Structure 1
Amino acid sequence: MFKSADPGSAGTAHPPAARARRPARPGFFRDRSGLAAVEMALVLPVFLMIIFGIVEFGRALKTWNEVDHALGRAVRLINLDAKTTPQQIVTAMEAYLDDINTESLSVVATPTNISGTDYIKISVGFPFELILPFSSISTVNINVDRIAPILSATK
């Protein structure tokens, strides 16, 4: 048996491990009030960043689709008239794009020949403004490319 060093408790046995297991504040670790608030404070910022990222990706995809569709319509103009200039392509695309700031569109038309067939490669680039909070990235450049055969009435 263990003897206590305290002279007032002569003869009582207390193992040292029993005293070490007793917490200083008995209800502190069992109290669960506020646990949901702490969990939400840890998880909510990550969850919101994921949601905002999904929304931004959707906006960028919608913008890319609109520019791709406008570029397809511009390619139809080239198919109707093989002498269409890049400036006419830009003007046509600006007419098709309502929701996009067309002042910063850059259009490059490069004629190429693949296996004896004349093609034109049109590349359209534009900056996309992100509205993602707490992000160091504010602008992403989006590029849309299209290779189209040059059709003419004489061939």
Structure 2
Amino acid sequence: MSRSERGFAAVETALLLPVFILLFMGVIDFGRLFWTQNTVTAAAEEGARMAVLTDTSDDEVMQTVKDYLKNGGIEEPPTIEIGARVPDQPVSVKVSVGFSFMTLLHSLTSLVDIDRVTSTAVMVHER
């Protein structure tokens, strides 16, 4: 390899490495977003399972959701809304947590407008 070829390789690396790093960090951030959405959805479903039982209180449902989120690695305090618990009627559990991108995508959040991850689960309340 001649000296000029080595120089071209260094220039190509200098030009492409930041692009590859940004792409890699974007993949990591969107992976975190999908992981958070999956965990929040599962926590809402678990809360709805608890909410349809007749012998559980709203506080127990909320604690179940918080425990599920904590076990899933989400430390952000959630917002939990539990619908009316009327026999033979659907009950909903809505869970929402804050989310922010960690990389340079953080500056682009105005484009994607993602600051909270929310999920709602609905099940029919038992008698």
Structure-2-length-normalised TM-score: 0.74
Establish whether residue 77 from structure 1 lines up as the match of residue 50 from structure 2.
Answer: yes
Percent sequence identity over matched residues? 23
Name the CA distance, whole Å, in 1 between partners of 2:34 and 2:84.
Answer: 28
What's the CA shift string for 1:23-45, capped at 9, x where partnerless? xxxxxxxx444111111111111
Q: Residue 150 of structure 1 corresponds to which residue in structure 2? A: 125
Deviation of residue 124 (structure 1)? 1.0
For the residue of structure 1 that corresponds to 2:102, the secondary structure is coil
For the residue of structure 2 that corresponds to 1:108, the secondary structure is strand
Q: Residue 13 of structure 1 corresponds to which residue in structure 2? A: none
Gaps of 5+ in 1: 1-30
Higher helix residue share? 2
Q: Residue 122 of structure 1 corresponds to which residue in structure 2? A: 93
Q: Say whether the 8 Å CA contact 1:82–1:150 is kept in structure 2.
A: no
Amino acid of the structure 2 residue aligned with 1:124: V
Name the CA distance, whole Å, in 2 between partners of 1:84 and 1:108.
Answer: 13
Name the CA distance, whole Å, in 1 between partners of 2:93 and 2:60.
Answer: 12
Name the CA distance, whole Å, in 2 between partners of 1:106 and 1:82.
Answer: 23
Name the CA distance, whole Å, in 1 between partners of 2:94 and 2:44.
Answer: 9
Q: Residue 110 of structure 1 corresponds to which residue in structure 2? A: 83
Deviation of residue 127 (structure 1)? 0.6
Name the CA distance, whole Å, in 1 between partners of 2:122 and 2:43.
Answer: 14
Misfit runs of 4+, over 4 Å: none
Name the CA distance, whole Å, in 2 between partners of 1:82 and 1:121.
Answer: 17
Deviation of residue 110 (structure 1)? 3.0
Larger Rg over CA atoms: 1
Alpha-carbon RMSD? 2.7
Structure-1-length-normalised TM-score: 0.62
Gaps of 5+ in 2: none
Establish whether residue 141 from structure 1 lines up as the match of residue 112 from structure 2.
Answer: no
> Using CA pairs below 8 Å that are at least 6 residues apart, which structure has the higher relative contact order?
2
